[in-house]
Amino acid sequence: MIIFNSLTRQKEELVPGEDGKVGIYVCGPTVYGYIHVGNARPFVFFQVLARYLRDQGYDVTVVENITDVDDKIIDRAREEGRAPEKVSRFYSEAYIQDTGRLGLGRPDIEPRATEHIGEIIALCQKLIELDMAYETGGSVYYRVQRFPGYGKLSGQKTDQMKHLEPPREGEAKENPLDFAVWKAAKRGEPVWDSPWGPGRPGWHIECTAMSLKYLGESFDIHGGGRDLIFPHHENEVAQAEAVTGGEFVRYWMHNGMITRKEEKMSKSVGNIFLLREFLKHYDPRVLILFFAATHYRNPLEFSTTNLEEAQAQLDRLRNCYWKMHSVIEETEIVPDGEGAPSGEYLKDAIVRADKEFHAEMQDDANTAGALAALFGLVKAINEYTEEASVAGKADAELLGEARDLLTRFLRIIGIELTMADFVETGLEAELLELVEAREKARDERDYAEADAARDRIREAGYEIRDTPQGPRLVKRK
């Protein structure tokens, strides 16, 4: 697989440090508010990348942190008149809930900064021992000019760097470039004891401590939004490489920002579209398709037109499965294809889609190209199910092969179709409740109740079939 490495600014072949294993660290959210669609992009993209690598046989570990102590949380707590710990606990739970609804599972490890204070203090101490950091007024600063590679990730010269941390009251920075790895306690802030007195960690050191702990001194992929390259990731490189003396990360991957009316979508600028609100209006899979339709490195415009397109794609997928399902239920399934439409074009489409989907994913995880390959297959399947339905016969093996391939692609992209997708919209909730009621009655050996549920399903125009995979709903003829 080829990936674009932000460090070298070119596409490179992915060669993991350890054969067959890939370690990925992704910068997760700072939990000071509900997350927005822009925060969901790295969450989704790196889960999809991991899914693809797993499909290719790699043993993948995704570590995605939760920043639960930070200036922004403290500011928010002050505004809300709550303790910072309460604010971060509340919003980290909300983050887990909201991203959980996307149906992509969780990262393998989701470390929280506040649970790694010991590791963070040890790193700060090591930096001081190496003369790479110094204490002032109870805070500890990283001595940037002592690290020769500073600027290599963001491609900047130190004399051109902007957005530097201002010194805090009562502290003296040796150089304006220096940044805090440990911050002395202030009133109303969460504090931990340290060799420099009570204080709390700086943001950058948190990610370094957690990534080194879970993925080792040198690991494969570090990801996050493009806006994190400087200073966050630049500082992570400086901290880690000063301590280990080796290469911190082999491949840096950065996703583009979500734009909304030409403006970067970020909580800091108050341009908010919350994931929680989004999911009240759309199926989570619409978001996944919306993301997949654009290469992860490109900016992505959050617009109704783009969302409608993703919604239409989801409908096409549901339709395709519904048709396959109906053909399997309603036509004669011929195991050896005897007398059924031969579907040469479907055989070709399977070969082509398989080749193209992988070629696109291998090329810097181009989900947009992969999606196009997938829909090429959908088109051929639709043609075949149409033909089979007219002929009253279908080639079971061919249709099964097409369906399995489509399902595998969709699983990589992060989409799963469930029984609810095979039922007409509007009816689904009611019918699924009846299916559940019937299952429950059968478990309790209440056959009268089970039959009553079955009859009501029939009245709604559906038949219930028991299969090894569980009950299935089939439209009545």
Binding site for Zn ion (CB under 5 A): 27, 207
Which residue's CB is nearer to Zn ion, number 207 or number 365?
Answer: 207
What is the largest distance, in Å, between two alpha-carbon atoms of the chain? 87
Which residue's CB is nearer to Zn ion, number 49 or number 377?
Answer: 49
Whole-number minimum distance, CB 253 to Zn ion, in Å?
A: 13
The residue to which tokens 């969901």 are assigned: 40
Whole-number minimum distance, CB 161 to Zn ion, in Å?
A: 19
Whole-number minimum distance, CB 432 to Zn ion, in Å?
A: 41
Whole-number minimum distance, CB 49 to Zn ion, in Å?
A: 17
Which residue's CB is nearer to Zn ion, number 243 or number 450?
Answer: 243
Whole-number minimum distance, CB 204 to Zn ion, in Å?
A: 7
Whole-number minimum distance, CB 6 to Zn ion, in Å?
A: 14
Whole-number minimum distance, CB 234 to Zn ion, in Å?
A: 11
Which residue's CB is nearer to Zn ion, number 255 or number 313?
Answer: 255
Which residue's CB is nearer to Zn ion, number 123 or number 207?
Answer: 207
* Amino acid in position 329: E
Which residue's CB is nearer to Zn ion, number 44 or number 394?
Answer: 44
Whole-number minimum distance, CB 91 to Zn ion, in Å?
A: 17
Which residue's CB is nearer to Zn ion, number 27 or number 127?
Answer: 27
Which residue's CB is nearer to Zn ion, number 7 or number 417?
Answer: 7
